[in-house]
Amino acid sequence: MSSIGIESLFRKFAGNPYKLHTYTSQESFQDAMSRISFAAVIFSFSAMRSERREGLSCLTELAIKFPRTRRLVIADDDIEARLIGSLSPSPLDGVLSKASTLEIFHQELFLSLNGVRQATDRLNNQWYINSKAGR
């Protein structure tokens, strides 16, 4: 998802308590992590295997170093979302699919940012958004 797209979603959210920071590289993000305390981190993965592997590795490192930070992933489609949910070595607060309708994507994004976190970090507490589900 482009930075313009995610910024647009955050502008539409009434009462948005978040300040959005966007980074185009892992290096610039990791540099910022040493200076800024983030409430949540949203990764937008491409379908490329190497980028997905690097991103999941970074999310695992975040889970260890900053366990209170929410971790979300935006996947290209429902298949990619399921794959990320099953491959992630650390629990995620949400895996969203760009294939979802804009309304569902928007609702689920802010639900995953603001909802109650699971009390346990077991693998079966991971979830993803399926745009084809009968909502």
Mean pLDDT of 110-128: 59
pLDDT by residue (tens digit) across 54-106? 888 888 988 999 999 999 999 988 998 898 888 888 889 999 999 999 999 98
pLDDT tens per residue across span 38-61: 899 998 877 677 777 888 888 898
Give pLDDT, residue 95: 92
Alpha-carbon distance 94 to 113, whole Å? Answer: 8
Q: Which residues lie closer than 8 Å to 129 by C-beta, 6 or more apart?
A: 81, 94, 95, 96, 97, 100, 104, 105, 108
- The three-class DSSP label of residue 39 is coil
Domain residue extents for the chain: 3-125
**130 pLDDT exceeds 50?**
no
* CATH class belonging to 3-125: alpha beta
Average pLDDT on 105-119 reads: 80
pLDDT average, residue stretch 7-21: 82
**Interval 4-13 mean pLDDT:** 82
